[in-house]
Structure 1
Amino acid sequence: MELVQADELQGDVIKGEPVRILNGNVIFRNGTTLIYCHRAFQFTNPTRMEMFGRVRIVEENKSTVESDSLFYDNNTKIARLRKNVVATDNKMSLKTNFLDYSMETGDSYYYNNGKMVDDKNTLTSISGFYNAGIKIITFKKEVLLQSENKRLTADSLKYNYQTKTLFFTGPTKIYQDDIIIHTTSGNYSTETENTRFEKRTTIEDSDYKLTGDTLYWDKSTETGKAFGNIQLTSKNEDITVDGQRGIYNRIQKSSKVWGDAVIKQLLDSDTVCIRADTLLSLQDSLNYKIVIAFKHATIFKPDLQGKCDSLVYISRDSLMKMFSDPVMWAQSSQMSGKFIQAHIVNNKLDYVDIKDNSYMISQDELNNFNQVKGKSVHAVFKEGKIEKMLVNGNAQSIYYIIDDSKKRKKNKGINYSLSSDMVLYYKKNKVKNISFLTKPEARFIPLHEIKEEDTRFKDFNWRIGEKPVK
């Protein structure tokens, strides 16, 4: 530490120790750093200094540290600044009452509370680390950030006051307008309010919650992008969407999730699951939800299962539309065709429309396959069980007649029917009556006359092995 100037210099002995006392406009130089004060005591054994009265350290880069007093140890090169300490670098100021400053490295450590203020943010913590050379402050313990539209709490974080960027190094909670963000790692620009979060992070508001291993949030577009084990939750509708990647737009309330995507909704005591390579969720002008499932779509609920290449669910009409080789199972019935549309009311199947090559197969208690086919089928359900079926266009049916008059039930034969249109009435999932809208071709085949080709239509395909189980 080199003395540059002082208005007055005198020698003295304090408690048996020689000391130089400097008064008035005192300046010391340490390399490229200048230290100013009103009064200084320079002890020779051991080599140490005490400074008082508007103490000021000025770095070569024009950053400064001021305090009421400074205690310097030449062996450790540490200056301990006490009371009303203010570190300033351009528009940033850091205030504390206890700061230890390294004359060798320019590193500063504060404890017993500190407060940083710049033109964008206010940050406080119990302790911290600061270096003007790298423009970064590390905040430790009870970290709090406050600005015009956000509030942040953390155990620790780093702040680059030049780029206005936060770096998270521990559990952190951010309150931004009406959004809450939970994270442990990542960075956040307080200028653009765009973020990149690593490890497990959640962004939520009153309606939705988005979680992922890596997550980006664009404040300007209100869009979140998540990667790795993502989950999007609609709180008001008890809906969750899981997958490997996803995009959520808060303004449009739309989402796209792909990679082993599955959407689950809790309805009463049942859970409905739709799976696909990609799931798209939209809201119409009346805020009703539309779900579109692309590629390898399946649906599962305890009393209804289905699969197809793509699927659309429209909540406003409670309609589910299945495209490209669709097949559906309800109770003991299998339904297939080129297109299937199902209407669900109060979590129960209400009706099913099957278009083109419509085919319905049901298995009875003797494992016989009862079959109905036609150009189109309209099946009506009650409490999840089939009640009536209208078959239009080249309507055909094969139904087994069972003798249940004895304890052990037996097959009696097959009823085969052909008509342009027919209506089948059911009771307890069994056909009780068939009405023909035009003159039918019908015949009964007794059990002993039944041939293999009589039991099934040529395009019979029992696809129970494809039935979703979850």
Structure 2
Amino acid sequence: MRHILIVLLTLLSVFCVQAQNMIHIEHANTLEFDEAVNAEFQMLIGDVQFRHDSVWMFCDTAHFFKASNTLYAYGHVHIKQGDTLTLDGKTLYYDGNRKIAQIRTNVVMTNKDVQLFTDHLDYDRVANIGYFFFGGKIVDPTNVLESSYGRYSPDTKMAFFKDEVVLTHPDFVMNTDTLNYNTDTREASIVSPTQIVGDSATIFAFRGWYNTLSGESELYDRSYVLSSPYFMIGDTVSYDQSRGFGHARSNVQLVDSSKAMILSSNYAYYHEEKEMAFLTDKALLREYSQKDDTLYLHADTLMTRKDSIYDTFQAYHHVRVYRSNLQAVCDSLYYSNRDSILDINGQPIIWSDNQQVRGNHMKMFMKDNTADYLHVERNASVISQETADTSYYNQSSGDDLKAYFLNNKVHRVTIEGNARSIYIPHNEDDEMIGMVSLEQGDIEMFMDSAGQMERIKVAPQPKGKFFPLSLVKDSDKRIPLFSWPIELRPTGPEDVFRRNEIKDNRFAEETRKKGQSAKRSTRNNRRTIK
């Protein structure tokens, strides 16, 4: 008896489950069944309504296959599942056993404020996912997304798009091959090469995410941003398109083709409206306006911005510069095209060929992006080494020095105030014949194309001595301001990353003051960035 009861209960539970899985006819104006004509289905006509567990299905006409628990529906097909999901179309095939709905022609799937439009939709009720193919479109309050194939899950709010994907936003258009999208957060997950075209910038991304509500994005795998006049690329790029600023990390490059300039570092920040860029961590500027002669400039921090209508550039701390015919070191420099003056501070030294110019403070006056003349203030000196005997140097120093450039080479130097000079005259065979030591008020020197002194003018009447080489003592070979730190001179593009270690106490006090000024400037820049 006990076993019979168990069997009956089991059969009853199976029957209940089967009853729940069966499609039920709830209403029809007309129901036709002719076993002689077609014994497999019943025909329902007019205001047809089916129910399958929690789902209601409506149409104009239907063929119901009770044995297979399936149906075909035609005309004004409407499916309602719960309070938040509806499906509409022209035709429907529904499998009650697999809980699969295949809807065709003018299909609309509505989930709250999200709608999916297509002509071909397969809806899996078990997984609660709608699959569209041969073209589809999802519309939410922010975006319109289109592709050839895709799927949408009302539970997770996740949509997947494949082939010819286009996301249209009021402020930009996104094109890609594959895209994941959350209709709740409005965030697009980028998994294939993607182009995002906005009013002020174009983004090329390979992997990452883009929030279409906030305009914020984080992009990986050397994605890049084009925002006139800059091109920004990095291993990781974070960009806010709505507010027009971004920062990049690791192997960063900022390219400004209008100024023939490439900025690189491991961290960069850029603001479109202010046209401001800030770079640090192995920061480097490459300026390539002169054909086959790129200028390399490294500093702890580089900053460029547009001030009103003028462009400014700033480099501070451990600045090193290399160009084939011009090298320099200093602690900071500042340039503005308002006056085309490059302000150089912090124990600056400039080399050109075999000449060295040094002082407490320098101003380089530029013309057509090339050096016109250099003004050196306080403790100014210009020194060149003799090629025949490197223990001898042509040296001049004074209170104020101006070096004039021709084709990026020093061709004339003037020194005013407390001028002192030591130079090595040569005979017609270019042999050293002695050493001249002068003390006078002013000096004017003229150089040949090789950088050697051709002639010298002094005023007023100088005090001087001529020493035959055999009588020159080592103590007579140097002016008081002599310094030849050749080890600091950058030797190539990679050498600009070497740290400056200047050990000359005569310039220490000036450097300390300039360093304090640079620190104040750094703090101000940080406030600006924040």
Q: Is the 8 A contact 2:420 2:479 kept in 1?
A: no
CA distance in 2, matches of 1:198, 1:413: 66
CA distance in 2, matches of 1:170, 1:418: 73
Q: Which one of 122, 125, 129 corresponds to residue 107 of structure 1?
A: 129
> Is residue 2:299 matched to residue 1:276?
yes
Q: Deviations over 1:122-167 (max 9, x none)?
A: 2211111101112222111101223433222111212222333322
Q: Is the 8 A contact 2:33 2:39 kept in 1?
A: no
Pick the structure with more strand per residue.
1
CA distance in 2, matches of 1:14, 1:329: 107
CA distance in 2, matches of 1:119, 1:457: 79
Q: Is the 8 A contact 1:259 1:278 kept in 2?
A: yes
Residues 414/99 of structure 1: CA separation in 2 closer, same or farther (3 Å cut): same
Q: Which one of 263, 271, 280 corresponds to residue 249 of structure 1?
A: 271
CA distance in 2, matches of 1:80, 1:359: 88
CA distance in 2, matches of 1:452, 1:59: 101
Deviates more, 1:174-183 or 1:431-440: 431-440
Residues 393/156 of structure 1: CA separation in 2 closer, same or farther (3 Å cut): same
1:390 matched residue in structure 2: 414
2:445 matched residue in structure 1: 424
Q: Which one of 137, 141, 166 corresponds to residue 144 of structure 1?
A: 166
Please state how far the C-alpha of 1:10 moved relative to its aligned partner.
5.2
Q: Is the 8 A contact 2:248 2:268 kept in 1?
A: yes
Amino acid aligned to 2:397:
K
Please state how far the C-alpha of 1:107 moved relative to its aligned partner.
0.7
CA distance in 1, matches of 2:476, 2:264: 47
2:117 matched residue in structure 1: 95
Q: Which one of 369, 373, 376 corresponds to residue 351 of structure 1?
A: 373
Q: Deviations over 1:33-66 (max 9, x none)?
A: 3333344333355443322232222222412111
CA distance in 2, matches of 1:77, 1:253: 58
Gaps of 5+ in 2: 1-20, 494-530
CA distance in 2, matches of 1:295, 1:4: 83
Residues 445/292 of structure 1: CA separation in 2 closer, same or farther (3 Å cut): same
2:183 matched residue in structure 1: 161
Q: Deviations over 1:173-196 (max 9, x none)?
A: 111114211112233233333333
CA distance in 1, matches of 2:341, 2:358: 17
2:214 matched residue in structure 1: 192
Q: Which one of 217, 231, 234 corresponds to residue 212 of structure 1?
A: 234
CA distance in 1, matches of 2:84, 2:308: 58
CA distance in 2, matches of 1:32, 1:454: 107
- Secondary structure of 1:411's match? coil
1:460 matched residue in structure 2: 482
Q: Deviations over 1:54-88 (max 9, x none)?
A: 22222224121112222233454322111111111
Structure 1 segment 127-142 matched on structure 2, within 5 A:
127-142=149-164
Please state how far the C-alpha of 1:333 moved relative to its aligned partner.
0.5
Residues 12/275 of structure 1: CA separation in 2 closer, same or farther (3 Å cut): farther
1:415 matched residue in structure 2: 436
Please state how far the C-alpha of 1:458 moved relative to its aligned partner.
5.1
Q: Is the 8 A contact 2:135 2:149 kept in 1?
A: yes
Q: Is the 8 A contact 1:401 1:415 kept in 2?
A: yes
CA distance in 1, matches of 2:75, 2:101: 15
CA distance in 1, matches of 2:324, 2:431: 30
- Secondary structure of 1:453's match? helix
CA distance in 2, matches of 1:220, 1:267: 33
Q: Is the 8 A contact 2:421 2:479 kept in 1?
A: no
Residues 433/18 of structure 1: CA separation in 2 closer, same or farther (3 Å cut): closer
Amino acid aligned to 2:438:
S
Deviates more, 1:379-388 or 1:135-144: 379-388
> Is residue 2:6 matched to residue 1:6?
no
Q: Is the 8 A contact 1:309 1:324 kept in 2?
A: yes
Q: Deviations over 1:240-294 (max 9, x none)?
A: 21111111111121111111111222223132222112110022323x3211001
Q: Is the 8 A contact 2:236 2:248 kept in 1?
A: yes
Q: Which one of 67, 70, 82 corresponds to residue 48 of structure 1?
A: 70
Please state how far the C-alpha of 1:416 moved relative to its aligned partner.
0.8
Please state how far the C-alpha of 1:5 moved relative to its aligned partner.
1.3
Q: Is the 8 A contact 1:10 1:22 kept in 2?
A: yes
CA distance in 2, matches of 1:20, 1:55: 18
Q: Is the 8 A contact 1:30 1:103 kept in 2?
A: no
Q: Is the 8 A contact 1:244 1:260 kept in 2?
A: yes
Residues 414/18 of structure 1: CA separation in 2 closer, same or farther (3 Å cut): same
CA distance in 1, matches of 2:82, 2:47: 20
1:435 matched residue in structure 2: 457
Amino acid aligned to 1:273:
Y
2:104 matched residue in structure 1: 82
Structure with the bigger RCO (C-alpha within 8 Å, sep 6+) is 2
Please state how far the C-alpha of 1:202 moved relative to its aligned partner.
1.8
- Secondary structure of 1:18's match? coil
Structure 1 segment 229-308 matched on structure 2, within 5 A:
229-269=251-291, 270-286=293-309, 288-308=310-330
Q: Is the 8 A contact 1:6 1:23 kept in 2?
A: no
Amino acid aligned to 1:264:
R
- Secondary structure of 1:402's match? coil
CA distance in 2, matches of 1:13, 1:138: 46
CA distance in 1, matches of 2:35, 2:194: 54
CA distance in 2, matches of 1:146, 1:220: 15
Deviates more, 1:239-248 or 1:207-216: 207-216
CA distance in 2, matches of 1:233, 1:108: 45
CA distance in 2, matches of 1:227, 1:13: 75
Root-mean-square deviation (CA, aligned residues, Å) is 2.4
Amino acid aligned to 1:333:
Q
Between Structure 1 and Structure 2, how many residues are aligned? 466
CA distance in 1, matches of 2:235, 2:410: 45
CA distance in 2, matches of 1:110, 1:384: 67
Q: Is the 8 A contact 1:11 1:18 kept in 2?
A: no
Q: Is the 8 A contact 1:17 1:43 kept in 2?
A: no
CA distance in 1, matches of 2:335, 2:286: 13
Pick the structure with more helix per residue.
2
- Secondary structure of 2:470's match? helix
Q: Is the 8 A contact 1:5 1:25 kept in 2?
A: no
Q: Deviations over 1:221-247 (max 9, x none)?
A: 321222222211223222221111111
Residue identity over aligned pairs, in percent, reads 29
